[in-house]
Structures are given as C-alpha cells and as structure tokens.
C-alpha cells in the first residue's frame, strides 16, 4: 500500500515522536509513505484568522503538489495527514474548492501564478487512524500483534478537529475507531466521556488562565477513570497535555499522566522498540506505566 504523506510542521518539531512512531508502524505493516515534495505549512487556525482566500491558496499548494506527485509516481491519491489541524485545514480547502465557486476561481488563478495546477477531483485527505482501521483492517493488524499490552489502561482522547466538523469516518462526539485499535493492541480503554472535548488548542500558551484549565480537565478525568496514560491522535493535544503538567501541578494539582500517541501504543504491540517509537520524548515519562506490560 502506497500513500502520500503530509507530516506538517509539528511532526518535524515538538511532535517528532508521532512522525517516528507512525513511520515505524507503517514499515511494520507494509505501508509505504511518500512525503509530499516541498510541502508548506497548512496555515493551522492562525492563517484563517487573518486571510480567508489566501488561507485556501496556501493549503491548495500542498494539494496541488500532492496530486502532481501521485500522478508522477502512480500513487494512490490519498494524503495521510496525522496532525488533526493539518487534516482539517486540507480537508476544509478541498471542500471549499468543491463548494465555493468564487474561492475555486481565485485559488486556480493563484496556483497558476505559481505554475501549479488545480488538484483534480478524487484527491482525499485521510487520517492514519482511518487508514489503519479501514484500509489495513483490524484483522490484519491483530495478526501482526506480537506483544499485546496486557493490563495497560488508556484514556482514548481524540480531541476536536479530527472528528469535527466533517466526521469523515467516525462519530462527532463519541468516536470509537481508536478504542478498537487499542483493543487490538491488547490495551484496555477506560470509559472516557471527554473524548472530543477541546484540549485548549493554542490558548494554553496565549491565554493560560483559560487554556491550562481545559488541559487539566482532560487529565484529571483520565486519572479519575483509572487510566495509566492518555492516548491521542494529535500533536497539539499531546503537547498541551504532556508539556504543561508542571504548570498544571502548580496551578491545580499534580496529575503525573503520560500522554502517548496511538501509533506508539500500536508500535509497542507490534513488537517495535521504545526507542524507535520515540517513547523517550515524553516530558512526563511513560516508561513506568509501560514496564512489564508486554
């Protein structure tokens, strides 16, 4: 299986462990990822707050480069975008190009000014969670699980932008795809009603009074429900929940809750080493929670 890969800025920086663990899991499952050549930042939530049509043109450059690369190399026209913000921004621009005629015309002209073509119909933006469960399939994954994570209790945290507003492959408020994948890895998911509540987004840095409390609410609930770790699908969620626990301890209480990527948990179950999955990159160490589980 061959897919286009759009890592996004976070996976090259603070979310490095997500990039490492996703690539390791894909190698183990026989999935080839081809990075979109010379991709640019998707624009996240910030660019759309300043410019609308330009934000779509910015995202469309990636779509155009991806489409050209797919045609060139004969790849499946599915772009895997692991960061929820990138996933949503790219999908939103695809929707806008399809639904808003004026945006389509202006973006086409902009791409032409850069010597690029409009992405053709049929190009898709996919999340690795969707690809693993719906393309590879749980049966095929279960067959490759070598060291199930016995007794590991996880709080499955999906965050917001993966399921809203488009809910392309799961429910907007109560998604289950990751729960099923974690079960296939041998771990147990606790009942977690805050699955899709906001982690605070960029507010943890900009308006900590509000942002830190949002992150704390998620962590506190995971602890109350008996989770050994939170498992997430998004680099910003991981960063907020993992990186600010010092400040949360100072402001509210100490939670000491490791925050893993779902690809790290799956990778461990597939028998990959902690090192190649970037487990050591957690600011709150996950090693104690994982010790002796496989």
The minimum distance between CB 85 and other proteins, in angstroms, equals 9
Kindly tell me which of 185 and 245 has the beta carbon lying closer to other proteins: 245
* Binding positions for other proteins, 70-99, rule CB under 8 A: none
List 126, 195, 281, 294, residue binding other proteins (CB under 8 A)? 281
Q: State the minimum distance, in angstroms, from the CB of residue 248 to other proteins.
A: 12
Q: What distance lies between CA 90 and its chain's CA centroid? A: 13
User: What is the total residue count of the chain?
Assistant: 294
Given the complex with other proteins, which of 109 and 146 has the nearer CB atom? 109
Interface with other proteins includes 9 (CB under 8 A)? yes
Give the number of other Cβ atoms within 10 Å of residue 10's Cβ. 23
Distance, in Å, from the CA atom of 189 to the CA atom of 225, rounded to the nearest integer, reads 10
Residue owning tokens 């009942």 = 191
Q: If binding is defined by CB under 8 A, does position 226 make contact with other proteins?
A: no
Q: Per the structure block, which two tokens stand in for 141? A: 């994954």
Indicate whether 202 belongs to the interface with other proteins (CB under 8 A).
yes
- Interaction between residue 233 and other proteins (CB under 8 A): no
Q: 101 CB contacts (<8 Å, ≥6 apart)?
A: none
- 278, with CB counted inside 10 A (0-12, 13-18, 19+), is buried
The residue assigned the tokens 């590991």 is 152
Which backbone phi and psi does 48 adopt, to 5 degrees? -65, -20
Per rule CB under 8 A, is residue 244 in the interface with other proteins? yes
Interaction pattern, residues 43-72, with other proteins; x per rule: CB under 8 A: xxxxxxxxxxxx--xx--x-----------
Shortest CB 279 distance to other proteins, Å: 10
User: Most distant CA pair in the chain: distance in Å?
Assistant: 58
DSSP-based helix, strand, coil % in the chain, nearest 5: 50, 10, 40
Query: Measured at the alpha carbon of residue 196, what is the angle toward residues 190 and 233, in degrees to the nearest 5?
Result: 80
- Write the binding mask 119 to 158 for other proteins: x where contact by CB under 8 A, - elsewhere: ----------------------------------------
Footprint (CB under 8 A) of other proteins, residues 180-199: 196-198
* Interacting residues with other proteins (CB under 8 A): 9-10, 12-17, 38-41, 43-54, 57-58, 61, 100, 106-107, 109-111, 113-116, 160-161, 164-165, 167, 172-173, 196-198, 200-203, 205-207, 209-210, 214, 243-244, 246-247, 280-283
């Amino acid at each position: 299986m061959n897919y286009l890969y759009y890592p996004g800025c976070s996976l090259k920086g603070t979310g490095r462990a997500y990039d490492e663990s996703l690539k390791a899991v894909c190698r183990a499952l026989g999935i080839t990822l081809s990075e979109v050549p010379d991709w640019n930042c998707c624009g996240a939530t910030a660019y759309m707050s300043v410019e609308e049509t330009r934000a779509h043109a910015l995202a469309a450059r990636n779509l155009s480069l991806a489409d050209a690369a797919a045609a060139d190399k004969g790849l499946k026209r599915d772009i895997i975008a692991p960061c929820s913000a990138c996933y949503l921004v790219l999908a939103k621009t695809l929707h806008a190009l399809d639904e808003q005629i004026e945006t389509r015309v202006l973006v086409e002209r902009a791409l032409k000014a850069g010597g690029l073509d409009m992405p053709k119909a049929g190009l898709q933006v996919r999340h690795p969670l969707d690809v693993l469960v719906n393309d590879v399939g749980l049966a095929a994954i279960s067959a490759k699980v070598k060291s199930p994570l016995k007794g590991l209790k996880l709080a499955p945290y999906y965050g917001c932008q993966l399921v809203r507003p488009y809910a392309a492959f799961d429910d907007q408020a109560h998604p289950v795809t990751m729960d099923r994948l974690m079960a296939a890895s041998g771990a147990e998911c606790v009942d977690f009603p805050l699955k899709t509540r906001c982690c605070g987004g960029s507010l943890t840095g900009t308006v900590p009074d509000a942002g830190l409390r949002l992150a704390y609410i998620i962590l506190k609930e995971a602890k109350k429900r008996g989770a050994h770790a939170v498992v997430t699908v998004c680099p910003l969620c991981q960063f907020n929940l993992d990186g600010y626990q010092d400040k949360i301890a100072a402001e509210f209480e100490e939670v000491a809750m490791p925050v893993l990527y779902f690809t790290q948990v799956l990778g461990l179950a597939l028998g990959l080493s902690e090192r190649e999955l970037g487990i050591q990159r957690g600011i709150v160490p996950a090693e104690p929670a994982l010790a002796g589980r496989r």
